[in-house]
Chain A
Amino acid sequence: MGETIIEKIVRNNVGRVVHPGDIVTVNVDRVMIHDIFIPFVAAKFEEMGFTKIWDTDKAVLIYDHLVPASQVDDTRHFREGNAFAAKYDMKHVHRSDGICHQLMTEAGYVKPGNIVFGTDSHTTTYGCVGAFSSGIGYTEMASILGTGTLWIRVPETIKIHITGKLPANVMAKDIILKLIGDLGADGATYKALEFTGDTIEQMSVASRMSMSNMAVEAGAKCALFAPDEKTAAYCEMTLTQKERELVGDTDAQYCQVLHYQAEDFVPVMACPSNVDKIKPVSELVGKEIDQVFIGSCTNGRLEDLMAAAEIVRGKHVAPFVKLIVTPASRKIYRQAIENGTMEVLTQAGAIVTHPSCGLCCGRTGGILTDHETVVATNNRNFLGRMGTSKVGIYLASPRTAAACAIAGKIVVPE
């Protein structure tokens, strides 16, 4: 019988055929720990009695949520992170290079077929290059650092097949938001998503990334794209036969198969305060807004900034609106300067911040207060995420967000 992508990845790792529901122990290829949780990981690691990291080349420590510090206590995380990294000889530490999920793929830490865990729910992102990656807590992370292994339950797979050409004002973000709305916030819990179809094949790795990033908002354990030539170019590698075989077989067993026609997608938003509360932007037109945020591990990449720039070129942000732009990494920031994107955005009145999680984790970079409304390109609109619990957060694509910033209210992008 055929296999899904996740079944192949796990089979290659454990050396035998697996089926959904099997509980297996996998050898971990890479782990990521970010600044919020490093003090807790460090404490648990020592409490477990470990004296060395199983493979110092395989662990990556990234400071992003708290960079640069906005409160005095934040510095404790850098201090304790640095002490842990020095004591256990960690090889890969990024202190101000950008958001963890962007760096893990951009810096080449993740390759097709890898099994990767991170102390962040959006670790599902690396499925964009055909890796099985998922979020875990800090106790389990400490355990992997010591042992190099983790138990997992092999998930069932939901296949999402999309064919056709997307309308010009629709981005990958609109697709994943629509899918989350259709599946519901727990519609894919414990399951893998697998994306196929010519629309997906045409899509850039950056666009795939914004989809795998948000799969967890439907509860998914991981979200996989079969590695192809675009993946190989992005990862700066040639795919081996084994990597090329990481596609879902035609006779694989899927627990659910969803078909979509690309032409049917429209710009959408997730309305306060649930990610699965999806409405077409056309039904929300006219709502006045106070701020727009373009950034995060979901939509802070070069193509996102360029899409926003295309919309705001030669125009200016509405008088009472703040447009905050946060590139996902230092590399993207530099590329956006070099290709003129930053020039266009700043001419239009954008406030550009340093690469980091910024406003998405609600600690810095434009927090809001009661009865204010923000259109944001990140992945969560939970109660209180960007300030007080009475802030209305609408999640949208960079194209939609930029159009709203110019109009000063919710509008459908051109």
Chain B
Amino acid sequence: MGKIFKFGQDVDTDQIIASQYIIYPTIDEMKVHTFESLDSDFAANVQPGDYVVASENFGCGSSREQAPSVLKALGVKAVVAKSFARIFYRNAINIGLPVIVCKELHDNVQTGEEMELFMQEGVVRVNDKEYECTRLPEYMQGILDQGGLIASLNKEEEK
């Protein structure tokens, strides 16, 4: 179980991690500024295993991979949104952060509620209610299962 942190529509990558921080040398130095302009306490309050829930077009804007990386570094277990912007979606899978499309969840939950994700089954559960979510295409699930693109490439080499 993890807590929900709920965000709105068109959350762009500048809002996830602003431009002035993405040139910090390490993700750990950046991560304390995650969602700073939307919720300055987010980085202090989020715990490993918590979830980010958003509406449409999460992660639109720049190609910065730091956006999914800071979320993963803070221990966010998955981002569940109505839809994702393309580059954020690819980046998240490549670094091993699950990104789940669920059309109904956002409108029915609040920040602070407890949630559980069953990725294989394509289901999330909040307040004893279950919501169906889209499963990843096999190819992408494969990359995610192996822990991201680097692990996946290394594994291909072993073959």
Contact A385 B95 (CB under 8 A): no
A363 located at the interface, meaning its Cβ lies under 8 Å from any Cβ of chain B in the complex = yes
Contact with A along B20-44 (1 / 0, CB 8 A): 1011010000000000010000000
Q: Provide the bound-state CA to CA distance between A74 and B20, in Å.
A: 11
Contact with B along A279-309 (1 / 0, CB 8 A): 0000000000000000000000000000000
Contacts A140-B90, A221-B86 known; A382 to B150 CB distance under 8 Å? no
Q: Provide the bound-state CA to CA distance between A383 and B60, in Å.
A: 13
B111 located at the interface, meaning its Cβ lies under 8 Å from any Cβ of chain A in the complex = no
Partner of B85 from the list A219, A380, A385 (CB cut-off 8 Å) is A219
Query: Total A-B residue pairs with C-beta atoms closer than 8 Å?
Result: 109
CB of B138 to closest CB in A, whole Å: 9
A383 contacts across to B, CB distance below 8 A: 12, 14-15, 37
Contact B15 A120 (CB under 8 A): no
CB of B6 to closest CB in A, whole Å: 18
Question: How many residues belonging to A are interface residues under a CB distance threshold of 8 Å?
Answer: 47
Q: Provide the bound-state CA to CA distance between A138 and B85, in Å.
A: 17
B62 located at the interface, meaning its Cβ lies under 8 Å from any Cβ of chain A in the complex = yes
Contacts A48-B153, A121-B63 known; A139 to B14 CB distance under 8 Å? no
Q: Provide the bound-state CA to CA distance between A13 and B12, in Å.
A: 32
Partner of B154 from the list A48, A138, A274 (CB cut-off 8 Å) is A48
B83 contacts across to A, CB distance below 8 A: 186, 189
Closest residue of chain B to A220, judged by CB?
B86
CB of B118 to closest CB in A, whole Å: 25
B57 located at the interface, meaning its Cβ lies under 8 Å from any Cβ of chain A in the complex = yes
Contact with A along B71-114 (1 / 0, CB 8 A): 00000000000011111001100110000000000000000000
Contact B14 A36 (CB under 8 A): no
Q: Provide the bound-state CA to CA distance between A30 and B56, in Å.
A: 32
B153 contacts across to A, CB distance below 8 A: 48, 143, 146-147
CB of B36 to closest CB in A, whole Å: 9
A23 located at the interface, meaning its Cβ lies under 8 Å from any Cβ of chain B in the complex = yes
A68 located at the interface, meaning its Cβ lies under 8 Å from any Cβ of chain B in the complex = no
Contact A135 B63 (CB under 8 A): yes
Q: Provide the bound-state CA to CA distance between A49 and B150, in Å.
A: 9
B124 located at the interface, meaning its Cβ lies under 8 Å from any Cβ of chain A in the complex = no
CB of B85 to closest CB in A, whole Å: 6
Contact with B along A329-356 (1 / 0, CB 8 A): 0000000000000000000000000000
CB of B159 to closest CB in A, whole Å: 14
Q: Provide the bound-state CA to CA distance between A105 and B22, in Å.
A: 27
17 further A-B contacts with Cβ under 8 Å, apart from A40-B65, A74-B23, A139-B94, are A23-B139, A44-B150, A49-B154, A49-B157, A134-B87, A137-B64, A137-B90, A137-B94, A137-B95, A140-B94, A189-B85, A362-B19, A363-B19, A380-B61, A382-B12, A382-B15, A385-B19
Residues of A within 8 A of B (CB): 23, 36-37, 39-40, 44, 47-49, 66, 73-74, 76-77, 118-121, 123, 134-140, 143, 146-147, 151, 153, 185-186, 189-190, 219, 221, 274, 361-363, 380, 382-385, 389
Q: Can you show 11 pairs from A to B with CB atoms below 8 A apart? A: A23-B139, A48-B154, A49-B154, A66-B23, A121-B61, A136-B63, A140-B149, A189-B57, A361-B19, A382-B14, A384-B37
